[in-house]
Amino acid sequence: MKIVFMGTPQFAANILQKLIDEQSEIVLVVSQPDRPVGRKKALLPTPVKQLALTYAIPVFQPEKIRRDYQKILAVNPDIIITAAYGQIIPKALLNAPRLGCINVHASLLPNYRGGAPIHHALLDGMAETGVTIMYMDETMDTGDIIACAKTPIADTDDVGVLFERLSHLGAKLLIATLPAIKANTNARIAQAHDLATYAPNLKREHELINWHQSARVIFNQIRGLNPWPTAYTTINGQNIKIFKAKMPRVASKNATATPAGTIINVHADGVDVMSGDGQLIAILELQIAGKRKIPLKDLLNGEHPLIVGKQFGG
């Protein structure tokens, strides 16, 4: 099979690596244009582009795939495989390959259609997620299902951990599924559209912690945004990014009347904060605006605003 692979982040690069390891015939890689990264705004290649160039695979980076796709048609692929590409694929491309266009999606469809399925599964406190190999159609993540694979979500999982696990799970499932797709013997199951849920791309308002919520909701928010885009709160007018927290625990009786967001205790193992349901949540890793990210114990050795009785978000 002549394969065109379309993807952008590390999630997709892990899948591309598996295809390469299996000696697949990849005739072209399509990725998003290089974007400025970091404070210095350095123009860096996408992880998928970096990997493709390592193996001397031609790379195409159209700004708008809807109007610039002739180079893909020119290589006459048997199949197009996408994974976290980042743009809607036009109908002309969907209809071109003889074996169709398939996508590796990081959820168990029809749950979590959209651009941030891993984040939303964690934000919602789901106990299970997975990957789906599906045919692509003109609307987002609505095509027929070819295969699925599941994985449990542990309390220790965050976005970074799940991205890595699901990318490898998706790669393994893809390789197992491709022979049937090539032989036209694969399953093709229509999605139950009435059961669909959605995972839109995250906005800034998703990142701000509301301490009046339950400790479990706050805990899920923190791990559901780590390592990107990161949950944050404020204290004394300063923004503080929060990367990691510990499972909530019951506060002592004399602390339950304390306002939500109040710092109850500060120690090298965590900053205990009151939540809206009277439970404490321990902040394990944070970064104060204007300062570099350092271990909590080191932060507490210097000047900091984390004082018992102070209130986050107040």
Q: Same domain, yes or no, for 135 and 215?
A: no
pLDDT tens-digit map of 175-187? 999 999 999 999 9
Of 136, 171, 195, the one marking the end of a domain is: 195
Q: How confident is the model at residue 125 (pLDDT cuts 50, 70, 90)?
A: very high
Q: How confident is the model at residue 22 (pLDDT cuts 50, 70, 90)?
A: very high
Q: How confident is the model at residue 254 (pLDDT cuts 50, 70, 90)?
A: low
- The pLDDT value recorded for residue 82 is 98
Secondary element (H or E) of residue 42: strand 42-44
* Domain span including residue 150: 2-195
pLDDT tens-digit map of 133-145? 999 999 999 999 9
- The pLDDT value recorded for residue 244 is 95
Q: How confident is the model at residue 314 (pLDDT cuts 50, 70, 90)?
A: low
Q: Same domain, yes or no, for 215 and 292?
A: yes
Of 150, 166, 195, the one marking the end of a domain is: 195
313 belongs to a structural domain: no
Q: Same domain, yes or no, for 98 and 140?
A: yes
- The pLDDT value recorded for residue 40 is 79
Q: Same domain, yes or no, for 35 and 93?
A: yes
289 compared with 81, residue with greater pLDDT: 81
CA dist., res. 244 & res. 62, Å (int): 37
Burial of 198 (0-12, 13-18, 19+ CB in 10 A): middle
Q: Same domain, yes or no, for 234 and 277?
A: yes
pLDDT reading at 249 higher than 90: no
308 belongs to a structural domain: no
pLDDT tens-digit map of 261-311? 999 999 888 999 999 998 999 999 999 988 888 888 888 888 889 999 999
pLDDT tens-digit map of 42-79? 889 999 999 999 999 999 999 999 999 999 999 999 99
225 belongs to a structural domain: yes
- The pLDDT value recorded for residue 280 is 92
Secondary element (H or E) of residue 54: helix 47-54
Secondary element (H or E) of residue 182: helix 159-182
**Cross-strand bridge partners of residue 242:** 231, 286
CA dist., res. 147 & res. 40, Å (int): 42
Answer left, alpha or beta for residue 199, where phi above 0 means left and psi between -120 and 50 means alpha. beta
Largest Cα–Cα separation, the chain: 72
- Whether the predicted model's global pTM rises above the 0.85 cut: yes
E runs forming strands in 92-173: 101-105, 128-135, 145-152
Cβ(146)–Cβ(178) below 8 Å? no
Helix axes 10-21, 159-182, angle to 10 degrees: 40
